[in-house]
Amino acid sequence: MSQPSYQRSPGWTPAADADPDLAASYARCQELTREHGRTYYLATRLLPAEKRPSVYALYGLARHADEIVDDLADSSGVADRTARLSRFADRILRDLASGHSSDPVGRAVVDTAARWSLDHRLFEAFFTSMTMDLTVTGYQSWDDLQGYVEGSAAVIGLQMLPILEPVTGDPVLLDLAAAAARDLGVAFQLANFIRDVGEDLDRGRLYLPLADLAEFGLARADLERRVVDDRVRALLAFQIQRVHRLRDSAASGIALLHPTSRPCIAAALTMYCGIADRVAQLDYAVFSTRATVPLPARLATAAHAWHQVRLARRRGADWDRVAAFA
């Protein structure tokens, strides 16, 4: 997929004359982000105000689809969930094509996609992976898993990229920024896979590649026993190292983003990938403890980032003045 050159967008702000239905849709997406993605929400507060609603819209879409697929309290069968997800996906994709939506979440998504010229194929890939979750229960290899995370995680990074505003029009550098954005999304998701092994097994799924299990003398049945032994510790430590490699790749792209976007991504990398490190600190007790980055650590990261935001806004203003004459 070729990378476009990115143009600045005014974003969306809740002005007094804003369409009330669109305002309500953005508000709904913000509430979904605040309620279900506390670490993510904290990081988004580091973005300029006009960019935050767009990020909330993308999260709201992902969360709404996730609720159809993953709600443990929902006793409906696979066929019912598949039908509901298909109807939702078809509606959103039609609305993206038409540029209009009456869906409570879709209104903000369509507006965001139009403002930032988001490639609609990214949304198609996302829904493909969400559909896989309804029938696929495991992956043989890391390469096999890549087919899933392409749509469930990598495209999220690519959807975010225009909002974060690369500061280059060089195609080579844009490709580097896109590769970093993909790795950003995958790093976040792999950290969640590590933390949520037990919860995912409750849903009948395992996202750690079976080939990796075999490398450490494990089979899926061993994880189903939900006992952490040295083999499980070694497996999870191996996955955490993979998170670190993805994190470092993602971090290499931060300098290519607009100065006002950099503190948000740096903080998000620290906090989200810190979930994986927290698993190690808890002796890999993934079946009995849900690893979270402690609040003082998150607040310390945010405080440092806020200082960087103030500096970045000055640098961003300088950058924009220079870019205007380029």
Instruction: Give the DSSP letter string of 43-99.
Output: HHTTS-TTTHHHHHHHHHHHHHHHHHHH-TT----HHHHHHHHHHHHHHHHHHHHHT
The reply to whether 20-135 and 154-326 are identical in fold is yes
Query: Is the distance from CB of 105 to CB of 61 less than 8 angstroms?
Result: yes
Residue 104 CB partners (closer than 8 Å, separation 6+): 24, 25, 28
What's the rounded mean pLDDT across residues 176-195? 96
Instruction: Give the confidence band of 310 by pLDDT, cuts at 50, 70, 90.
Output: low
Q: From residue 97, give the alpha-carbon distance in Å to each of 3, 100, 122.
A: 20, 8, 13
Instruction: Give the confidence band of 2 by pLDDT, cuts at 50, 70, 90.
Output: very low
**Residue 278 — φ and ψ, nearest 5°?**
-65, -35
Confidence (pLDDT) at 305: 58
pTM: 0.86
pLDDT at position 98 over 70: yes
Instruction: Give the confidence band of 324 by pLDDT, cuts at 50, 70, 90.
Output: very low
Distance CA 105, CA 24 (A): 9
154-326 maps to CATH 1.10.600.10: yes
Closest to 223 (Cα-Cα) out of 201, 204, 242: 201
Residues 112, 113, 118, 123: what is their CA dihedral angle, to the nearest 10 degrees?
A: 110
The full set of domain ranges for the chain reads 20-135, 154-326
In the beta sheet, which residues pair with residue 257? 166
Name the CATH superfamily, with its identifier, for domain 20-135. Farnesyl Diphosphate Synthase (1.10.600.10)
Instruction: Give the confidence band of 6 by pLDDT, cuts at 50, 70, 90.
Output: very low
**Residue 223 — φ and ψ, nearest 5°?**
-70, -30
Among all chains, which residue has been given the structure tokens 């971090």? 251
pLDDT at position 15 over 90: no
User: Range with the lowest mean pLDDT among 33-42, 79-88, 151-160?
Assistant: 33-42
Model pLDDT for residues 55-87, shown as the tens digit of each residue: 999 999 999 999 999 875 667 789 999 999 999
Query: Is the distance from CB of 130 to CB of 69 less than 8 angstroms?
Result: yes
